[in-house]
Amino acid sequence: MKIGMPMSYSGGFKETVEELVEYEAVGLDDVLLPEAYTFDAVSQLGYIAAKTSTLGITSGILNIYSRTPALLAMTAAGLDYVSDGRFTLGIGASGPQVVEGFHGIKYDAPHGRCREVVEICRKVWRREPLEYDGKHFHLPLTKEHGGSGLGKPLRLINHPVRDNIPVVLAALGPKNVQLAAEMFDGWEPIFYVPERAEAAFGDALAKGKANRQAGLDPLQIIVDVKVAITEDADEKEAAMQNVREHLALYVGGMGAKGKNFYNDLAIRYGYEESAPVIQELFLSGKKAEAAAAVPDEFVHGVALIGAPGWVKERAAAFAESGVTTLNTSPLAPTHAGRVSTIAQLKSFVS
């Protein structure tokens, strides 16, 4: 099992990248950089590629609305080139808050768009003439679909380092999880509980794997986990509280009632009594109470918090459930402590 780590998309980026070299030295396998509505992720991923030598770099994620499929493919090919084949294209639908609120683009048909984006990207990387007639994308754009009729099929000028750059889909809903298992190289869920993953995702994964596209390797599963390796009671409680607040923010506040994907996931995990309470409290402005309503079992399920032996057992449980990469956020208060956390965790899974 590999160890990855997300990077913040805000704050002292250059200083953080300088520290990546130390993480790389203790065995960090991959770094994932989100893109929200701050500096673009692509320029920063290129900077990371220049400052590291073995570390995998992943966009975690680029949304599928604000760039055309061909531009996503060009960007991935360029990042793969400057990193000597270390790039993974992580994409996802994001949400209407970012897509409509910041980019001014209608948020619709995320499932269908994801499918077509990947098909177009792979055609670009194979340097095929770009002809595509989908439901959402038409290349070249004909008069029938609002174009001038002057476009012609083009192929990528450069020869990519790889014609099969790995593509990872961030997904929680059943349809998109099924899509990830069918045609993506990897799947990135959030708030993954190994013991409850089968109930939440099993049917969708099984349906997708039954139709998995020929030539693809087994599905990689990359999950986000916060980590605190400690026997100190106060440190453990501080880490638990960090995760409680994080869960409360997403389960309670990321979307209106009936339109919160994370709340739906908590219910699928079996927290059908707690999830509505967390949401009601959070949306009423009672954020501390919302965090307190998050069950400890949920916190322990999605995080790695405890003594070294406990964390090693929990890491093994993630691996046994099919996880191939732990995308870890070390909660130690110092940089040295966070580097030590990555080194310890790497020793547990090697």
The CATH number of the domain holding residue 93 is 3.20.20.30
Domain that holds residue 41: 2-223
Please indicate, yes or no, if residue 122 is contained in any of the structural domains.
yes
Tens-place pLDDT, residues 189-223: 999 999 999 999 999 999 999 999 999 999 999 99
Q: Are 305 and 239 in contact (CB under 8 A)?
A: yes
Q: Are 262 and 170 in contact (CB under 8 A)?
A: no
Please indicate, yes or no, if residue 213 is contained in any of the structural domains.
yes
Token pair 């061909």 is at which residue?
70
Q: What is the DSSP letter of 257?
A: T
For residue 105, name the pLDDT band (cuts at 50, 70, 90). Answer: very high
For residue 151, name the pLDDT band (cuts at 50, 70, 90). Answer: very high
Tens-place pLDDT, residues 26-55: 999 999 999 989 899 999 999 999 999 999
Please indicate, yes or no, if residue 94 is contained in any of the structural domains.
yes
Asked if residue 96 has pLDDT above 90, the reply is: no
Q: Are 16 and 1 in contact (CB under 8 A)?
A: no
Domain count, the chain: 1
**Average pLDDT for 283-292:** 98
Distance CA 161, CA 37 (A): 30
Q: Which long-range contacts (CB under 8 A, 24 or more apart) does 267-275 make?
A: 268/199, 268/200, 269/193, 269/196, 269/199, 269/200, 269/298, 269/301, 270/196, 270/199, 271/295, 271/298, 274/298, 275/251
For residue 10, name the pLDDT band (cuts at 50, 70, 90). Answer: low
pLDDT above 70 as % of the chain: 99
Please indicate, yes or no, if residue 249 is contained in any of the structural domains.
no
pLDDT at 12: 77
Could you tell me whether strands 138-139 and 132-133 are parallel, antiparallel, or unpaired per DSSP bridges?
antiparallel
Query: Hey, how many other C-beta atoms are within 10 angstroms of the C-beta on 270?
Result: 17
Residue 94: closest CA among 121, 68, 60, 137 = 60
The tokens describing 3, both together, are 């160890």
In this structure, the chain runs to a length of: 350
Please indicate, yes or no, if residue 40 is contained in any of the structural domains.
yes
Query: DSSP alpha helices (H): ranges in the chain?
Result: 13-25, 41-51, 69-82, 96-99, 110-125, 174-183, 197-210, 233-253, 261-268, 274-283, 287-292, 296-302, 308-320, 335-349
Torsion, CA 284, CA 259, CA 254, CA 89, rounded to 10:
180
Please indicate, yes or no, if residue 139 is contained in any of the structural domains.
yes
Asked if residue 133 has pLDDT above 70, the reply is: yes
Asked if residue 9 has pLDDT above 80, the reply is: no
The C-alpha angle 101, 107, 113, rounded to 5 degrees, equals 140
Torsion, CA 243, CA 246, CA 252, CA 256, rounded to 10:
-150
Please indicate, yes or no, if residue 278 is contained in any of the structural domains.
no
Mean pLDDT of the chain: 96
Please indicate, yes or no, if residue 250 is contained in any of the structural domains.
no
| Residue 298 CB-half CA count within 13 A | 30
Helix 233-253 × helix 261-268 angle, to 10°: 120
Distance CA 257, CA 276 (A): 9
Distance CA 330, CA 345 (A): 10
